[in-house]
Structure 1
Amino acid sequence: MSTNTSPLAGKHALVTGASRGIGLAIAQRLLDEGARVTLLGRQLSSVSEAAAKLSNTDAFAVAADVGSREQLRAAIDVAGDRFGPVDILINNAGQAVSAPMHKMDDALWNAMLSVNLTGTYNGIRHVLPSMLARDFGRIVNVASTAGLKGYPYVAAYSAAKHGVIGLTRSVALEVAGRNITVNAVCPGYTDTDIVRETIGNIQAKTGRSESEAIAVLVDHNPQRRLIRCEEVANAVAWLCLPGSESITGQSIAIAGGEIM
């Protein structure tokens, strides 16, 4: 009888915001390493379609708004019934909306904190007790370079991502002696649907070409290019694989040298 020797064989990974972009790339990468992966998204139809594209019986889809503690708890319970307790949590769900500070309303501020910061807190809060009970866990929070520095017109998003990094550091210290690591990855502008929408908005408002609009976004990236989703997924996978046990409480920039 053959034995599965894949590094993450038998591990249950849950990835939020997994219906497209970075989240979907992370789900695929963890599947490639042998994990059973739950893809979580806001709309079940979208995340189920994404899971089906992976063509892997170890991919499962659930739906929840990560900003809702009750919805997320219910979805994690359903995932647990399918694959067992969550061993690896990837808090990737996020949303970015821009507005000048003097024109920002409370709804935008609250929405950015709900999805990006409270959603990350909710995920950790729900899976950590079982990780502590088993003395094992890997948590990776997808933050942003906006959590390491400021950008104009995204004050609420940047504040939320700074909060994610603070949360990462504090929880990592609390559980450092329990074989649980907590890290953040901080991508720069990445080639996702959301960024493509931003590029389109720049074109519409300024009359710039697509290449000129991209140049505006990557101006702070010394490599002068958009980050690929697969590059973020590779960094996330490394933090979950055997051999990275001493890496915890870190915020790793994936940004072509933008953050030194």
Structure 2
Amino acid sequence: MAVKQTKTAVVTGGVSGIGYGLVQSLLSKSNWRVVIADIRPEAYNAISSTLDPERHLFVATNVASWDEQAALFKKAFEWSGGRLDFFAANAGMAESDHITQGNFSQGWDLDGEPPKPNLTTIEVNEIAVFYGLRLFVHYARKTNVALKAASGSSPAPFNPKVVITASCAGIYPFPLAPAYNSSKHGVVALTRSVGKPLLASDNIAVNCIMPGYVDTGLIPNQVTALWPKHYITPISTMVRAYEELISEDGAVAQDGKSDGPNGVVKAGQSVECVVEKLFYRHPVPYADESQEFLIEQTFLPDGVWVRGMQAALGAAATAAKA
């Protein structure tokens, strides 16, 4: 029987809600260590005693800061002994001030200057995910090089995974919070754009989860009190989605609660998590053959987009030398 390799995960927003549920799930398995990142050290202190002290590390991090995320991944890579296997880009925020954050149906003082929108929600929910993905790709590549160097002709299996926390608001309109809504659409698009290419180039599988209504603390308790209890999605449903998306053999339990393909490694997938079920959602169908050609060519390393842009760059370089 093959010996299980010790793996390391980085989980942002890992001290509460979905992130904390994932951390607990990972640490329940003997072959996982977890680096927990969150902007709230006090929230970590409240749950730290529930976690194996030998197999986790907490790093206070504002994910909206490139420098702080870069420091997080560097520290995680060093603490892990040079191996990062999984990045859960889970940190996020909801809009608390709908006037300043973009709800255009709300009024403001017309006698003054129009208020500049506060786009912190987009910085945390979308831009920070770009930061984290770039950093994870960097360290996954370093991990891969080190494993190959150490193993020679028989490198140890290395199947890096990324799961982004999007939202069902990433595929539906959500007029109450348009900045949140657009940020979640953005990370769904990011997942679908990079999923297949990164799997092909680096064996990095990028997917996202899209939770329904979850009582995570981001939403006021007064809203949750009004919500139909049978419409609330438990944390366990997201944990199941994580397990399917990071499974190295693409295993999906055949119990009717997931329509994901069994035995297929997942990449570029967006999984809607609704109460107790998982729905693998697909992009809208192409309008016609011309639109299919336009988009599908972007996935080809030798397609017309790449060849045309390379020719344009070559022409520009030649002109610069003239």
- TM-score of Structure 1 vs Structure 2, range by shorter chain: 0.7 to 0.9
Q: Please point out which of 230, 246, 253 is paired with 2:236.
A: 230
Please say if 1:103 is aligned against 2:95: no
Residue matched to 2:253: none
Shift of 1:61: 0.5
Residue matched to 2:267: 248
Structure 1 residues 232 and 48, CA gap change in structure 2 (3 angstroms): same
Shift of 1:132: 3.2
Residue matched to 2:21: 25
For residues 121-140 of structure 1, the aligned pairs below 5 Å read: 121-133=130-142, 134=144, 136-140=159-163
1:170-219 Cα offsets, whole Å, 9 max, x none, are 11122122321000000001122223x1x41x49xxxxxx3xx113xx7x
Q: Please point out which of 65, 70, 94 is paired with 1:68.
A: 65
Shift of 1:48: 4.5
Q: In structure 2, what is the Cα distance between the partners aligned to 1:111 and 1:102? A: 20
Structure 1 residues 140 and 191, CA gap change in structure 2 (3 angstroms): same
> Secondary structure of the equivalent of 2:161?
strand
Q: Please point out which of 205, 213, 238 is paired with 1:181.
A: 205
Shift of 1:43: 2.5
> Secondary structure of the equivalent of 2:124?
helix
Runs of 4+ in structure 1 off by over 2 angstroms are 2-5, 43-52, 98-108, 256-260
Residue matched to 1:55: 52
Residue matched to 2:166: 143
1:200-248 Cα offsets, whole Å, 9 max, x none, are 1x49xxxxxx3xx113xx7xxxxx4211112212211221122126211
Shift of 1:107: 4.1
Amino acid at match of 2:193: S
Q: Which runs of 5+ in 1 are unaligned?
A: 204-209, 219-223
1:152-187 Cα offsets, whole Å, 9 max, x none, are 211110100000011111111221223210000000
For residues 163-242 of structure 1, the aligned pairs below 5 Å read: 163-177=186-200, 178-195=202-219, 197=220, 199-200=221-222, 202=223, 210=225, 213-215=226-228, 224-242=230-248
Q: In structure 1, what is the Cα distance between the partners aligned to 2:116 and 2:182? A: 14
> For the Cα contact (< 8 Å) 2:95–2:177, is it kept in 1?
yes
TM-score, L = length of structure 1: 0.82
Q: Please point out which of 65, 88, 93 is paired with 2:91.
A: 93
> For the Cα contact (< 8 Å) 2:8–2:34, is it kept in 1?
yes
> What's the Cα RMSD here?
2.5
> For the Cα contact (< 8 Å) 2:77–2:84, is it kept in 1?
yes
Q: Please point out which of 177, 185, 198 is paired with 1:154.
A: 177
Q: Which runs of 5+ in 2 are unaligned?
A: 108-114, 145-157, 251-263, 282-322
Which structure has more relative contact order (CA 8 Å, sep 6+)? It is 1
> Secondary structure of the equivalent of 1:126?
helix
Which has a greater percent of helix?
1
Shift of 1:126: 0.7
Shift of 1:3: 8.5
Q: In structure 2, what is the Cα distance between the partners aligned to 1:52 and 1:60? A: 12
> For the Cα contact (< 8 Å) 1:145–1:253, is it kept in 2?
yes
Residue matched to 1:35: 32
Shift of 1:93: 0.3
> Secondary structure of the equivalent of 1:89?
strand
In the alignment of these two chains, the number of paired residues is: 237
Shift of 1:18: 0.5
Q: In structure 2, what is the Cα distance between the partners aligned to 1:3 and 1:49? A: 38
Please say if 1:117 is aligned against 2:126: yes
Q: In structure 1, what is the Cα distance between the partners aligned to 2:121 and 2:116? A: 10
